[in-house]
């Protein structure tokens, strides 16, 4: 029995397999790339998906995988729609115009409520979501 841990980060996508005693059985990595969609940098979800599927199939041929545990930093999100289309996560190092940053500053709750600071660039997921809504105000069928 093995446990797969998926860690999809901006720099690397990683899959590690572990046994019940905490011994690492395998480790696979992929350098991630950034793609530009509508003048915003996004993580290459399609490339990660293809790589991850291939690696998991290969590892499942060598080990019986009992559980899969996804982990991540939380500075990006894939928005999945009901028809299973998705909006690729915006690169959290993407910079935003002053108007968008100002609007986000007015909308966000204070640190005392959220425990989250107003961070530079796109490190606040709320700022990324605001940009996605501004690009598609009606919220349906966000462009891929």
**CB-side neighbour CA atoms (13 Å) of 99:** 2
Residues of the chain with CATH 3.30.420.40: 1-72
Q: Give me the CATH code for the 1-72 domain, please.
A: 3.30.420.40
Q: Going residue by residue through the chain (144 aa), what tens digit of pLDDT does each one get?
A: 999 999 988 889 999 999 999 999 999 999 988 888 878 888 888 899 999 999 999 999 999 999 999 987 777 777 777 777 677 788 888 888 899 899 999 999 988 998 888 888 888 888 888 887 877 766 555 444
DSSP label at residue 90: B
- pTM of structure: 0.74
């Amino acid at each position: 029995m093995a446990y797969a841990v998926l860690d999809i980060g901006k720099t690397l996508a990683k899959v590690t397999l572990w046994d019940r005693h905490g011994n690492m059985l395998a480790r696979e990595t992929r350098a991630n790339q950034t793609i530009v969609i509508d003048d915003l940098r996004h993580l290459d979800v399609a490339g990660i998906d293809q790589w991850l599927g291939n690696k998991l199939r290969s590892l499942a041929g060598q080990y019986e995988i009992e559980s899969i545990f996804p982990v991540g930093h939380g500075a990006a999100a894939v928005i999945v729609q009901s028809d299973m289309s998705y909006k690729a996560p915006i690169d959290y190092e993407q910079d935003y115009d002053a108007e968008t940053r100002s609007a986000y500053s007015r909308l966000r709750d204070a640190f005392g409520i959220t425990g989250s600071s107003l961070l530079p660039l796109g490190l606040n997921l709320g700022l990324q979501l605001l940009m996605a809504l501004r690009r598609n105000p009606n919220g349906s069928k966000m462009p891929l």
